[in-house]
Amino acid sequence: MELDLIDVQFDLRSIKPRELEEAFEDPFVVRFLPDCERQDGATRFYALGRTVADRYLCFAFWTDGKTTRVVAARDMSEGEKKFYDRKYAEFR
């Protein structure tokens, strides 16, 4: 799957593309169900993931199965971190 970061709606200086790739590759990433059906066949998801440097990221993305485009990304809130850590503890 190819990660598309062209024309993103967030600051790539605060969240590096490498960090987004690491969060996507996190084996314990928490992905939420798609939000709605779309006419173009793309599906939008929300996810919580952690980087190698232990940065917790929350991001929204859509995918058509071949390409993944990040729509928004930010650091997790405290509540999201607790949720992620609970899910992580279940799998460890």
Domain residue limits at 70: 2-91
Look at residue 4 and tell me whether its pLDDT is greater than 80. Answer: no
Rounded mean pLDDT of 63-79? Answer: 87
Which of the pair, 71 or 56, is modelled with greater confidence? 56
Tens of pLDDT, residue by residue over 27-49, are 999 988 776 666 766 678 899 99
Asked whether 89 and 24 are in contact (CB, 8 A), the reply is no
Q: Which residue from 4, 5, 60, 51 is spatially nearest to 28, judged by alpha carbons?
A: 51
pLDDT, position 38: 65
pTM of the model: 0.82
Number of folded domains in the chain? 1
